[in-house]
């Protein structure tokens, strides 16, 4: 049986690992001791917006707080925040067998490359998680939006990845993973808007002012991608370049069309909003910051995405959580040079 290690037992890691464990896979978790205590007490309860649910009792969960738990693993799913990738790679390099395969299920664009650099000749594949996972309480993880997992094609890992079929976790294997990552990042530009709004995703996206903020960030990124010759993959019924126009439609029209594009649970929030609420550093530099870096590589500016980075960093530094109204945030993005 394929031995799996979930390296990063947070929302995504516990959800995917819980789905795999509940359907008979050999899964071990690496995470913070506090999460280990919760799972030892509550077990793992996994639910899906379509009504399905699974439960794994505490006695069936193997959990540790260091990389030793990954020794002997055939497949490692890296789900740590982007800022922890280098440390994770160095720790894994000391314990992983040479034949192990690693999948980076992380936000941003460069985590897979960093893992490849630090894990020598081991197979490292880029992955992407398109859906949102929220905590419904201690040990309870809920998939709150739709989407199939993506893992880069190739790498001689097909047999090990068959575990996802058994868990009914649909897996797409694109050859051009870079275009998929950029397409996901365009959608993830909403994470900053959602975190600053401090609202559930569905409630935030129901307000045209917030959607206009996202449309500005996406148009800026799409313009830069065009200049760089990068075509984002199509992850939704609409091509990426049409989405800003959809976002700017009146609320009623948008709500009708959006229902056909993506199912979102009313409880869903962005991971960035969850991080701000918990007082943790966000991944803003690996999401909107990627657009700013692309602009710099083209000797151009990305003022909208740079400003969103600044606002989220300001929010990280605040001891008291504040919420931006749609008008406030849109005004802050309109007062930029050239806007």
| CATH among 1.10.3730.10, 1.10.1040.10, 3.40.50.80, 1.10.760.10 for 180-334 | 1.10.1040.10
State the pTM of this model: 0.91
- 41 exposed, middle or buried (CB, 10 Å; 0-12, 13-18, 19+)? exposed
pLDDT at 334: 86
In whole numbers, what is the pLDDT of the chain averaged over residues?
A: 93
| pLDDT recorded at residue 266 | 78
Q: Residue 238's pLDDT band (boundaries 50, 70, 90)?
A: confident
Percent of the chain scoring above 70 in pLDDT = 98
In this structure, which CATH number among 2.40.40.20, 3.40.50.720, 2.60.120.10, 3.40.50.300 belongs to the domain 3-175?
A: 3.40.50.720
Q: Write the pLDDT tens digit of every residue in 58-112.
A: 999 999 999 999 999 999 999 999 999 999 999 999 999 999 999 999 999 999 9
């Amino acid at each position: 049986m394929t031995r799996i290690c979930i390296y990063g037992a947070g929302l995504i890691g516990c959800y995917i690992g819980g789905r795999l464990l509940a359907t008979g896979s050999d899964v071990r978790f690496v995470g913070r001791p506090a999460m280990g205590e919760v799972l030892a007490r509550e077990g793992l309860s996994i639910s899906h917006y379509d009504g399905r649910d699974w439960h794994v009792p505490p006695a069936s969960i193997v959990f540790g707080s260091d990389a030793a738990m990954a020794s002997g693993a055939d497949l490692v799913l890296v789900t740590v925040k982007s800022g922890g990738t280098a440390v994770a790679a160095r720790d894994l390099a000391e314990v992983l067998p040479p034949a192990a395969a690693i999948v980076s299920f992380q936000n941003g664009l460069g985590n897979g490359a960093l893992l490849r650099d630090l894990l020598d000749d081991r197979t490292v594949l880029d992955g992407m998680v398109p859906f949102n996972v929220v905590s419904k309480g201690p040990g309870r993880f809920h998939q709150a939006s739709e989407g199939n997992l993506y893992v880069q094609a190739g790498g001689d890992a097909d047999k090990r990845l068959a575990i996802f079929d058994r868990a009914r976790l649909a897996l797409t294997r694109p050859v051009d993973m870079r275009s998929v990552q950029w397409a996901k990042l365009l959608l993830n530009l909403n994470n900053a808007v959602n975190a600053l709004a401090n609202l559930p995703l569905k409630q935030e996206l129901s307000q045209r002012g917030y959607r206009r903020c996202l449309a500005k960030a996406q148009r800026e990124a799409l313009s830069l991608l065009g200049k760089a010759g990068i075509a984002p993959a199509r992850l939704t019924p609409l091509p990426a370049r049409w989405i800003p126009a959809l976002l700017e439609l009146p609320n009623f029209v948008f709500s009708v069309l959006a229902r056909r594009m993506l199912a979102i649970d009313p409880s869903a929030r962005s991971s960035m909003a969850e991080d701000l609420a918990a007082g943790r550093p966000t991944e803003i530099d690996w999401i909107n910051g990627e657009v700013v870096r692309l602009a710099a590589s083209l000797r151009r500016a990305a003022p909208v995405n740079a400003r969103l980075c600044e606002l989220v960093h300001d929010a990280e530094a605040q001891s008291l959580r504040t919420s931006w109204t749609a008008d406030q945030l849109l005004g802050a993005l309109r007062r930029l040079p050239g806007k």
